[in-house]
Structure 1
Amino acid sequence: MQIISSPPRSGFSASCSLSGSFLHLGFARDVIFRSSSPSRRKIPLRFPRASSSSDPLLVQAARGDLVSRPPAWMMRQAGRYMAVYRKLAEKHPSFRVRSETVDLIVEISLQPWRAFHPDGVIIFSDILTPLPAFGVHFEIEEVKGPIIQNPISSEDDLNNLHSIDLDKLQFVGESLKILRSEVGEHAAVLGFVGAPWTIATYIVEGGTTRTYANIKSMCHTAPHVLKSLLSHLTRAISEYIIFQVKSGAQCIQIFDSWGGQIPPNAWEQWSRPYIQEMVRVVRKECPQVPLVLYINGNGGLLERMIGTGVDVIGLDWTVDMADGRRRLGNKVAVQGNVDPAYLFCPLPALTDEIHRVVRSAGRRGHILNLGHGVLVKTPEEAVAHFFDVVKGLRYDSLFKESMVENLEPVA
C-alpha cells in the first residue's frame, strides 16, 4: 500500500512558534472542582488562559478545559495484541523497518484507530529511534532487545556524539503529517520521546538491564561524563520534540520509563533538571502543546514530578487515582490508570474499574489510559469494550449517580 503525504492542515503550525508568550502550564485562574460525592476531597483545577473548542478532546482535557467526558487512549496502543499487526509483522519481521518506514509507521499507527477510534492516535515508533541521528547506533534483536555496540563509559566516548540531524528523522516527520491528515480533528495525534535519564540508561548499559549497575555507578565514579551525556541528550530530545510538533503532533508524551529505578533523591539530581530544561525549551517555541510525563513506578515521585512543569502526569496502576489526585492537587492534569490486567477480566469488572478510576480522577483534567502498556495477548474485544465504555460516559450523569450512591443509607 502506498500512502501519499498530504500537507498539514492550515494553521496547525501556529501551536509552535518562536514568538509565542508563555504562561506556566497555560492556566490563568483557579476554580474549584466540585465532586458530587460528599466523601471526596474537592480538588481545585485551573482554566487555561485560551482554549479552542475545535481542539481534539484529549488536548482540551490536558489543558484543564471543561469537557463532557474523559478522553482515552492506551500506551502500546498499536502492537502485538492485534491480529492485523502480527500479520503485518510476519511480512516485515524487522522492528527497525516497521518503525522507520513511512508507509508501515502510518499503517500500524492507524490500525487501532480504525478498530477502536481512541481519542489519541500515537505514532508507532520507539524512544531509541532518534539515537542514530546524534551519533549512537543500535540494533534490535528479537530476544535481547536493543543492543548498543559502543556504550559510553568515558569522556572520550562522548566525542562520538554530535548535534541531532533531523534530516535523518524525516520518516517520523512525514508520518506525523500523514497521520494528522488521516485523523483530522477527530482525535489528537500524539508524539513521544524518552527522557534523558531513560535514554542514557541504554547508552551507558549497552542495552536493557535489570540492575542499572553501570549507570548508577557512573553517578559517583564519573559524574562529569554522565552530566555531559544528559545535557547532550536534553538538547537533542528537545529539538526532536519541537520537530514532532512542527510535523503535526498535538500532544507529546515524555517517557522517563526507568526514572523509578533510582531513589527519589537521585531522580531529583539526575533526571528532573534535564526534563525541566526540555520543558523550558519546548515551551518557548510550542507554548500551546500539552506535555505528558510518565514514569513507571512513580508512586514515590509524584510530588517531585510537578516541578518539571509538564501539563499532565501519568500514573501507573500501583498508585490509587484518588490518592494521586490528592497528592498532586491543582498543579497538573492526570493520565491513567487502569491496570492492564483488567483487560483479561470479565467485561463487567472492566466497566466497574473504568468508572472507579474516572470518578476518582474527577470531572476535569483527566485522560483515561492504562497504568502501563497493553499486554501481549490482550483480547481485542476487551480493548474495544474499554473505548466503548468511556465514549458512553458523561460526567454529568456519572457524578449524579455517585451522589445518589453516597446518599443511599447502608443496610
Structure 2
Amino acid sequence: MPSEIPAAGAPPNLDVATMPALQNDLYLRAARGERTERAPVWCMRQAGRYLPEFRAVRVENDFFNVCRSPALATEVTMQPIRRYAGLLDAAIIFSDILVIPQAMGMRVDMVPGTGPRLPEPLREPADLARLVDQRKGFSVDRELGYVYHAITNTRHALAGRVPLLGFAGAPWTLMAYMVEGGGSKTFAAAKAWLFRHPQAAHELLRRIAAVAADFLVGQVHAGAQALQVFESWAGELGPREFAEFSLPYLAHIAAHVKQRCPGVPLTVFARGAHYALEQLAAETVFDVISLDWTIAPADARARVDRALRAAGSDRRVVLQGNLDPTLLFADEATVRRRTAEMCAAFGAAPHIANLGHGMMPGHDPERLRVFLETVHQASRALRQ
C-alpha cells in the first residue's frame, strides 16, 4: 500500500495509466446492461462489524477516525476482498453517508450500540444559517479530500482485482438525520419540516444535493469506477412526498454526475420506495436500481421495462439485489436454497446480486461466503 496521503485537499490528479489493469470487470459490464457469464455479486456493508478483523481495527480507532484516515479506510475496505478472495466482484470504499453533514458543519458522533448521533440538530429554518455554504467559500474537495485519498490508496491496494465503488447519501436521507439528530422510528421531526417549512426543506435539500453531486464527481476523479446513492429512508415518504422531496434531487445528482463522468455506472438504492420504480427508471439517468427484499424481482423488471417503453426510452436499467439480509442468520442449506431462488427470480438478464440491505453486526462471516458461492454457481447455471 502506498504511504498515507494527508487527509485534506483536492482530489489527487489520478493518472489512469498508473493504475493496475482491471482483471475482473464483471460488475462494470453488468451495470452497463451487458450480458455476463454470471451475475456479479457484492454486498452493502461488506466491510463492517460482522468481520472480526474490522472489530480489531475499531478497538483502537473511533469510527470516524477510520473514515478520515486513508490508510485505515483502505485497510478495512480490503478486508472482505482478502477474506472472500475470488468471490466478490466489487469493493466499496469504507466511509459513511454522514460525512456530508460533517462537511457542512454539523457534529456527528458514532455512539457504540446506538448508532449515529447529531447532538445539535436543525430544529427551525433559521438553523440553516449554521451550515456552511458552497456560495461562501465552502470547498467539497477540501472538506472531503480524505475520502478521495482513501479511494486512490485503495485503487492501488486492489491491484486491479475488482472495481472500486464510491458512494454518497441522498438528500432526503441526510436531511432526516440532520433534523432528527440521529435515527428515528417515526421521522416525525424531519417529515414535519416538509409540511411546515417546505421552502426551507427544499433549500436544505438543494444544498445537500449540490454537495453530494460534487462529492461523487470528486470520487470518480480520485479513482472510483462506479457510484451508488443511498436513499436509505425513502420508504418513510409517501409517493407524493417522494415525488416532491426526493426524486428531483436524485435526478439532479444523477444528471450532474453523468454530465461530468458519462462512462461511470450509477446506482440508486431507494429503500422501501418500490412504489417509485417507474419514476426512478424513466425520470432519472441512473443505470442501476437496487431493490430491497420487499418486491419480487420479476415484478420489478416488468414495471421498469414498461416505464421505459412508455417514456420512449431505449435505455437499459439494470436491477440489483435483493436477498433479505436476515436470511444469513439461517442454516447453510436455507441460505443456499433461498439464494438460488433469488438468482432464478432475476433470470438470465443483466443483474447484480446483492442483499436487500446491508450486512448486520451479528452475521456469521461464513454465511456470507455461502451466499457468494451460491450466486456464482446458480447465476452461471442460468446463463448456460
TM-score, normalized by length of structure 1? 0.82
1:127 match: secondary structure: coil
Deviations 1:119-173 (A, max 9, x none): 1101111100122322223222224432223322334322222125221222211
Equivalent residues in 2 for 1:89-104 (5 A)? 89-92=58-61, 94-104=62-72
Residue 333 in 1 paired to residue 339 in 2?
no
Segments of 5+ residues of structure 2 without an aligned counterpart are 6-11, 309-315
**Which of 342, 345, 352 matches 1:367?**
352
**SS of aligned partner of 1:336:** strand
Larger Rg: 1
Aligned match of 1:315:
291
Q: Root-mean-square deviation (CA), in Å?
A: 2.3
Structure-2 residue corresponding to 1:377: 362
Structure 2 equivalent of residue 177 of structure 1: 152
Partner of 1:124: 94
Gaps of 5+ in 1: 14-51, 401-411
Q: Indicate if the aligned counterparts of 1:332 and 1:365 stay in contact, CA closer than 8 A.
A: no
| Shift of residue 364, structure 1, vs aligned partner | 2.9
Range moving further from structure 2, 122-131 or 352-361: 352-361
Trace 1:191-210 onto structure 2 (pairs within 5 A): 191-210=166-185
2:45 aligned with 1:76, yes or no? yes
How do 1:240-259 residues align onto structure 2 when only pairs under 5 Å count? 240-259=215-234
Mapped partners of 2:18, 2:92: distance in 1: 17
**1:10 alignment partner, one of 8, 11, 16:** 16
Alignment CA distance shift 1:293-1:68 (3 Å) = same
Task: Tell me how far apart the structure 2 counterparts of residues 371 and 394 of structure 1 sit (CA, whole Å).
Answer: 17
> Matches of residues 254-333 of structure 1 in structure 2 within 5 Å?
254-306=229-281, 307-329=283-305, 331-333=316-318
Distance, in Å, in 2 between the alignment partners of 1:383 and 1:145 is 23
1:242, CA displacement in angstroms?
Answer: 0.4
Q: Answer whether contact 1:260 1:296 (CA < 8 A) is retained.
A: yes
Answer whether contact 1:12 1:248 (CA < 8 A) is retained: no
Aligned to 1:35: none
**What TM-score, normalized by structure 2, do the two folds share?**
0.87
When structure 1 is superposed on structure 2, of 346-355 and 269-278 the one drifting more is: 346-355
The share of aligned pairs that are identical, in percent, is: 32
Return the alpha-carbon distance in structure 2 between the equivalents of residues 339 and 150 of structure 1. Answer: 34
Question: What secondary structure, in the 3-state scheme, does the structure 1 residue paired with 2:275 have?
Answer: coil
Q: Quick check: 1:71–1:367 contact (8 Å CA) kept in 2? A: yes
Residue 81 of structure 1 aligns with an amino acid whose one-letter code is Y
How many pairs are equivalent? 360
Which residue identity is paired with 1:398? L
Residue number among 356, 374, 379 corresponding to 1:389 in the alignment:
374
Q: Deviations over 1:366-395 (max 9, x none)?
A: 100001111222111111222222334554
Does residue 1:63 correspond to 2:38, yes or no? no
2:18, 2:351 → 1: CA distance?
Answer: 24
Specify whether residues 148 and 273 from structure 1 end up closer, same or farther in structure 2 by C-alpha distance, changes over 3 A only. Answer: same
> How far is 1:176 from its partner?
0.4
Output one character per residue of 1:280-337: Cα deviation in whole Å (capped at 9) or x when no partner. Answer: 1111100111111112223322223222221111111111112211221265100001
- State the Cα distance separating 1:223 from its structure 2 match: 0.9
Report the secondary structure of 2:370's partner residue.
helix
